[in-house]
Each structure stands twice: as structure tokens, then as C-alpha cells.
Amino acid sequence: MSARILRWREGDNEKLLKQAADILSHGGLVAIPTETVYGLAADATNGEAVARIFAAKGRPRFNPLIAHVADLAMARSCARFDARAERLAQAFWPGPLTLVLPLAEGAPVHPLVTAGLGTIAIRRPSGPSAELIARFGRPLAAPSANPSGRLSPTSAAHVAEGLGESIDAIIDAGPCRVGLESTIVSLAGQAPRLLRPGGLNAAQIEAVLGERLLAPETVSGEARKIEAPGMMSSHYAPRAALRLDAARVEPGEALLAFGPALPENAGEAVATRNLSPAGSLVEAAASLFAFLHELDRSGAAVIAVAPVPRQGLGAAINDRLARAAAPRA
């Protein structure tokens, strides 16, 4: 498969918007031009579509993605805005500012977008991508449109070079105006914190807030990891302990299965979920957070987890399972 190039022409994009929205509504991936860098977008409500982002980028872990919205109303359906968030959105949206806010009840966003967190990173871009999101009617999850570990793309040609064979379409609207990732500010805690410096100057943000931004944690490697919540080793662990690569179910355990072949005593599990009876890693990635929650609610002290293959998306699934199984402080 080679990505279709959809060329943006000012004032004449009806057909392009329809094509791109069609691809997205079928769970496909479209690279979108924003003022920061090109993003790799999927329907944020569709877990399998979001899982394909991780597969296409070859990301080894499920770190949270930025939800891109068309307007403030869509933003408010995703996140709880306080007065500070309202002020920043008024001042800088559309633009290169991402806000991390408490996730709204019933937000139209799959848990894989937020890596199962109670917070969401949200941004309102300008230009073609805003028009596409408005047309699509739902938020788009989008990290930068480059293979994991490579430079962020600031042109359609960069995207084609890195991901041209693994995504459905690229909207080409020329080079990105800012060319740097968005600045990320968290308002989820007491004090506003700069999580990532980027295309919007921190001093401008502080001027609107009337207070200083706490610095990104730079004290040590460990502290920095905690700032990116998806990285915390036991982050979002269930209450139950996880027993990985389980071939059998022990008495009292719940079972998280994968694939058509269940452990021979699977019937003894107090509760069972199968990440993908057909053995699809995309389906498994999309189910992972919800099923861990559900099995946790079964009250079992231990969740036995069947082996999940480690290739492709399986690497990220196993990474997340290993973190959930890690001993907690």
C-alpha cells in the first residue's frame, strides 16, 4: 500500500475533505498538516484506529497522544476546563499550545488515546486540519507523523519518506508554519507546569496566566519519566497483581487471554476477557485498558495473563503489561 497524496488547494477542498473523512471513519490513518508539524491522525473514538497509529510508527510503548479538536465546544466535550484553561484557550487557540486537563466524563476519546489516564492532552490546530476535524465531527488523535525515534516531519514529502507505505493518505498543504512541536502545559495539578517546551514561548503563556510555569522535571532521569505519565513504571496498574505469560489459571485468578487457544483450565477463572479471540494485535491493543479495568473490578487478587506475541504492536502491549505487573511503591 502506498499513501494517497491529497493536495490542499485554498478554497477548493470539498472532495479532499470528504475523502479524508471517509478514510478516518473507516478506521484509516491520514497524515494532516498542522502549524506545528505533520500529525498522523486517527479517529480518537476508534480504539483499533488508534492502535494502528502505534503500529505504523513502530512505537514500542503506549504513551498518551494529543487529541486534536475543531473548536472550543469539542474541546469542552473532552476535557474539564477551569478558568486558567479558558484563558489560555482564548489567548492561544488555534495555535501551537497543548493543554493537559482532567478528562471529561463521557469524553469521545478511546482509552488508548490517553493511555488510560484520567487526564487528556488537547489542542486546537489551525488551517486544513481544523477544517478536517470540523467536517469529521469527532476529535482526531495524532502524534507526529514519523517512524518512532525519527525527526518530526514538516512537509508531506518527509511523511511520505518515513510512513508512505504504512498509512492511507497524506494531506499536502506545504511546509508547516511553526515547524516545532506544540508547547505542552499541564493544568491538571495545583500549579501550572510546562511539560514540553515547543512552538509557543513559555513567557507568553505566563503573561496570560499571571503566574510562573513550573519547569519540566529535570532533576533526574526518573523524575522526567514521571512527568510523561505513560512512562511511569507501575503507571495505571490495576489493583490486582498481574501474573504474566501464564499457561494455566491458579485458583481464584481472573484470566486475560489472547488468541483462539485458551489455557486448558480456563473455565476455572473467576472472570475472563480475551484481548482478541482471532489473535489480532490491533484488536488486542484497543481492548487492553478496558479489559484490565474490567478484570480488576472482578475482585480477583491476581490476573493471569496469557502470552501475547512480542512482534509489532505486541511490543507495546507487552511493555504495558510489564509495567502494570511491576511492583508498586
Of 143-151, 169-177, 226-234, 277-285, the segment contacting Mg ion by CB under 5 A is 143-151
Secondary structure letter of residue 208 according to DSSP: H
Residue of minimal CB distance from Mg ion? 144
Bond from prior residue into 94 cis (ω within 30 degrees of 0): yes
Question: What b/e sequence results for 83-105 when a residue is b if at least 16 CB atoms lie within 10 Å of its CB, and e otherwise?
Answer: ebbeebbeebbbbbbbbbbbbbe
Of 18-26, 42-50, 60-68, 199-207, the segment contacting ligand AMP by CB under 6 A is 60-68
For residue 17, the minimal CB distance to ligand AMP (Å) is 23
Question: Binding pattern to ligand AMP, positions 186-205, x when CB under 6 A?
Answer: x--------xx---------
Asked whether position 249 contacts ligand AMP by CB under 6 A, the answer is no
- Do residues 35 and 41 lie in contact, with contact meaning Cβ atoms separated by under 8 Å? no
Asked whether position 117 contacts ligand AMP by CB under 6 A, the answer is yes
Complete edge-to-edge strand list for the sheet that includes strand 272-274: 241-243, 302-305, 254-257, 272-274
Looking at the Cβ atoms of 228 and 241, the one nearer to ligand AMP is: 228
Q: What is 77-109 written as a DSSP string?
A: HHB---HHHHHHHHHH-SSSEEEEEEBPTT-S-
Asked whether position 116 contacts ligand AMP by CB under 6 A, the answer is no
Provide the terminal-to-terminal Cα distance of the chain, rounded to the nearest Å: 46
β-pairing verdict for 241-243 and 66-68: unpaired
Please identify which residue in 119, 129, 144, 287 interacts with Mg ion, judged by CB under 5 A: 144
Looking at the Cβ atoms of 46 and 146, the one nearer to Mg ion is: 146
For residue 64, the minimal CB distance to ligand AMP (Å) is 3
Residue in 85, 109, 107 with CA at minimum distance from that of residue 97 = 85
Please identify which residue in 21, 49, 121, 286 interacts with ligand AMP, judged by CB under 6 A: 121
Q: Which residues bind ligand AMP (CB under 6 A)?
A: 63-66, 100, 114, 117, 119-121, 143-144, 181, 184, 186, 195-196, 228-230
